[in-house]
Amino acid sequence: MLAQLLQFSFSGLTVGATYALAALGFTLIYNASHVINFAQGEFIMIGGMLAVFLVGLGVPLPFAIVLAVAVAALVGVLMEKLAIEPVGRGDTLALVIVTIGVSLVLRGAVQVWLGKGSHALPSFSGDAPILIGGAALMPQSLWVLATSAAVVVALAWFFERTLAGKAMLATAINRTAAELVGIDTDRVLRVSFALSAALGALGGILITPITLTSFDVGIMLGLKGFAAAVVGGLGSGLGAIVGGLLVGLIEAFCAGWLSSSYKDAVPFVLILFILFFLPSGLFGPKTTERV
Amino acid sequence: MTNRITSLVGLAIVTAVVAIIPFVAPNSFYLDLAIRTGINAVVVLGLNLLIGFAGQISLGHAGFIGLGAFASAVLPTHFGWHPLAAMAAGSLAAGALAAVVARPIFRLRGHYLAMATLGLGIIVNIVLRNEAQWTGGPDGMPVPAMTLFGIDVVSDRQWYWIVGALLLVSIWASLNLIDSPFGRAMRALHGSEVAARVVGVDVTRYKVAVFVMSAMFAGLMGSVTAHYVGFVSPALADFGHSVELLTMVVVGGMASVFGSVVGAVLLTALPQLLATLEGWETVAYGAVLVLCMIFLPKGLVPTLAARFERRRR
């Protein structure tokens, strides 16, 4: 029983960490622009697929990872420059539709370029499971969890200690006020896209040795990351992390105890539940509106 | 008044086109394309009422189509229902589900309906894929023929006239709806929600009503699709299909009745042109969405109409 509990927790936390990275990506862009970026999942896919492609070319794994994350970040900036900026800031609905359009372009382009097959990456440090309390923990899970934790710490440092990070926080709190004190909010938006693309891509690479990747994994992973962000409270960084882990855990326990065929429905049932009973999520800001 | 005339002229043009197509279509491929265009157009009309007038996007309309389609497949096959009863049940079920979800959602401000419908559509899709003993699972299942007054409706021609008639009735109903007190309230709502509230429009009730209506349109057309094709699969209810419908609204023009029809015509034909280029189809859809939002943010029909107006003056 305890072994089972541990086993489900391990797998839940592992996928949950990926969802958390995706959810942080959603949060960054949402805070900078109030746009829900439906292309977030495609960054996850691009990360995994590019890493597989580069490793296939003979690039050593660490370089392949860095390169894939960098390319994804570049794609994020290009997306902001070419698709988001021309639409302008006013119309959130139009911007959300644009992100759906970009996601289709990215997914289709990768399908044309790299084909429809599923691909795997080798585990970063072997496949010998570590036995803890009767449950098997894969070394790759440790990589996922440790890297995600490191990223969270780095982000916290970035937002607390650096000028660029503080500028982003200020923009999230009140854009007009931020502009008045001289913050270039357009640049903040570009940085948000670069960062969230990089976060998504990193998550995509980390999870690929466990779950495989293909041109269409972005849809589900992105939507689940979005569910995690909603559960945690859209706009809250802490909420994104807790939401991601929570969604991963509930999914794993549902797969283990109830029905593995319905585990994919878990995040979406959670979205509805949260919207009905707790619209600002677990840690979301309470909003009041002035007319 | 000119508005009214423009609408009638538009309706007359669509009627003429619908009447002519079967006589000029060179082969059954074009008739099939026309039928599927008509089905999409009716769904898009309903979706456009929601997006254009309530200012809310639905990312789960394919879920309602799936409900209608599978009601027409499952109820007659497993429970011996009459296909017409099953069709009504499918449409009502879609409407009821929409109502249950909409009430709590529309109390909130912001794009929460997008999130809720997204979740709803995916849940419907997952249920259809998993309940294989009823729905045939991912492979889908055959649909019994529709019988009207003791006659089996099976030929493409028969379905063409049914879909054509449904399309014309929907256009006519939408035009009337927009001109009714209900439509005026919806437009006020779109202009300024606060102002609408102040002059006494029950904002939540109207939004729920328009959402339920568009879900019922989608459910009904799901049934029609099921009977016309003779086969249903869960792909009808997937997220990609919802996005296709959204694209049709955006390209044709939000809040434009004839824009819905134009959007459906263009984007039902587009995949046919790109069918041989796998993957490019997705790229093209995405590019159309992005370019439309950048260069034609109001959509094709309203933009062209405005240009035409200006030139006349």
Distance from CA of A223 to the nearest CA of B (A): 9
Looking at the structure of chain B, the number of domains it has is 1
CA distances from B22 to B9, B31, B260 (A): 21, 7, 22
Residue-number span of the structural domain to which B18 is assigned: 2-242
Which residues in chain A are closer than 8 Å to B120, comparing Cβ atoms?
268, 272
Q: Check residue A291 and give its pLDDT.
A: 47
Which residues in chain A are closer than 8 Å to B104, comparing Cβ atoms?
275-276
pLDDT band at A287 (very low <50, low <70, confident <90, very high): low
User: Of the spans B37-41, B103-107, B130-134, which averages the highest pLDDT?
Assistant: B37-41
Task: Kindly determine whether residue B118 and residue A275, on different chains, have CB atoms separated by under 8 Å.
Answer: no
Distance from CA of B283 to the nearest CA of A (A): 4
List the single residue in A100, A267, A289 with the smallest CB-CB distance to B289.
A100
Task: Kindly determine whether residue A87 and residue B281, on different chains, have CB atoms separated by under 8 Å.
Answer: no
* A88, closest residue in chain B (CA to CA): B294
Q: Check residue B187 and give its pLDDT.
A: 76
pLDDT band at B160 (very low <50, low <70, confident <90, very high): very high
List the single residue in A104, A271, A291 with the smallest CB-CB distance to B285.
A104
Task: Kindly determine whether residue B289 and residue A97, on different chains, have CB atoms separated by under 8 Å.
Answer: yes
SS3 B45: helix
* B251, closest residue in chain A (CA to CA): A97
| Average confidence score pLDDT of chain A | 89
Q: Check residue B269 and give its pLDDT.
A: 85
Q: Is residue B76 part of a domain?
A: yes
**Least confident residue range of A31-40, B101-110, B167-176:** B101-110
Q: Check residue B1 and give its pLDDT.
A: 43
Task: Kindly determine whether residue B283 and residue A109, on different chains, have CB atoms separated by under 8 Å.
Answer: yes
0.90 cut: is pTM over it? Answer: no
Mean pLDDT on A148-169: 92
* B194, closest residue in chain A (CA to CA): A291
Measured distance CA(B200)–CA(B194) in Å, rounded: 10
CA distances from B287 to A270, B251, B252, B265, B284 (A): 32, 11, 15, 18, 5
Distance from CA of A161 to the nearest CA of B (A): 32
Task: Kindly determine whether residue B108 and residue A111, on different chains, have CB atoms separated by under 8 Å.
Answer: no
Q: Is the pLDDT of residue A288 over 80?
A: no
Mean pLDDT on B36-51: 93
**Least confident residue range of A82-91, B75-84, B239-248:** A82-91
pLDDT band at A180 (very low <50, low <70, confident <90, very high): very high
Q: What is the DSSP letter of B230?
A: S
Q: Check residue A279 and give its pLDDT.
A: 74
CA distances from A72 to A40, A42, A46, A117, B130 (A): 11, 9, 7, 21, 35
Task: Kindly determine whether residue B283 and residue A91, on different chains, have CB atoms separated by under 8 Å.
Answer: no
Interface confidence, given as ipTM, is: 0.85
List the single residue in B116, B130, B286 with the smallest CB-CB distance to A105.
B286
3-state secondary structure chain A: CHHHHHHHHHHHHHHHHHHHHHHHHHHHHHHHHCCCCCCHHHHHHHHHHHHHHHHHCCCCHHHHHHHHHHHHHHHHHHHHHHHHHHHCCCCHHHHHHHHHHHHHHHHHHHHHHHCCCCECCCCCCCCCCEEECCEEECHHHHHHHHHHHHHHHHHHHHHHHCHHHHHHHHHHHCHHHHHHCCCCHHHHHHHHHHHHHHHHHHHHHHHHHHHCECCCHHHHHHHHHHHHHHHHCCCCHHHHHHHHHHHHHHHHHHHHHHCHHHHHHHHHHHHHHHHHHCCCCCCCCCCCCCC
| Domain-wise residue ranges, chain A | 26-121+181-215, 217-284
Q: Is the pLDDT of residue B271 over 80?
A: no
Measured distance CA(B112)–CA(B107) in Å, rounded: 10
List the single residue in B57, B278, B282 with the smallest CB-CB distance to A104.
B282
Q: Is the pLDDT of residue B2 over 80?
A: no
Residue of B277, B294, B298 for testing the chain A interface, max A β-carbons within 10 Å: B294
Measured distance CA(B275)–CA(A120) in Å, rounded: 29
Residues of chain B above pLDDT 90, percent: 43
CA distances from A26 to A176, A179, A270, B221 (A): 21, 22, 17, 34
Measured distance CA(B39)–CA(B60) in Å, rounded: 17
SS3 B275: coil
Residue of B283, B285, B292, B295 for testing the chain A interface, max A β-carbons within 10 Å: B283
pLDDT, tens only, A195-244: 999 999 999 999 999 988 998 889 889 989 998 998 888 888 899 999 99
Residues of chain B above pLDDT 70, percent: 97
pLDDT, tens only, B87-100: 999 999 999 999 99
Locate the DSSP E strands across chain B. 141-142, 146-148, 151-153, 231-232
Which residues in chain A are closer than 8 Å to B283, comparing Cβ atoms?
104-105, 108-109, 112
Q: Check residue A70 and give its pLDDT.
A: 97
pLDDT, tens only, A29-73: 988 888 889 899 999 999 999 999 999 999 999 999 999 999 999
**Which residue reads 């370019």 in tokens?**
B291
Distance from CA of A176 to the nearest CA of B (A): 20
Q: Residue B285 is encoded by which pair of tokens?
A: 């859809």
Mean pLDDT on B10-21: 91
pLDDT band at A273 (very low <50, low <70, confident <90, very high): confident
pLDDT band at B206 (very low <50, low <70, confident <90, very high): confident
Which residues in chain A are closer than 8 Å to B293, comparing Cβ atoms?
87, 94-95, 97-98, 101
Q: Is the pLDDT of residue B263 over 70?
A: yes
Torsion of CA B38, B40, B42, B45, to 10 degrees: -130
Measured distance CA(A40)–CA(A226) in Å, rounded: 9
Q: Check residue B94 and give its pLDDT.
A: 96
Task: Kindly determine whether residue B122 and residue A268, on different chains, have CB atoms separated by under 8 Å.
Answer: yes
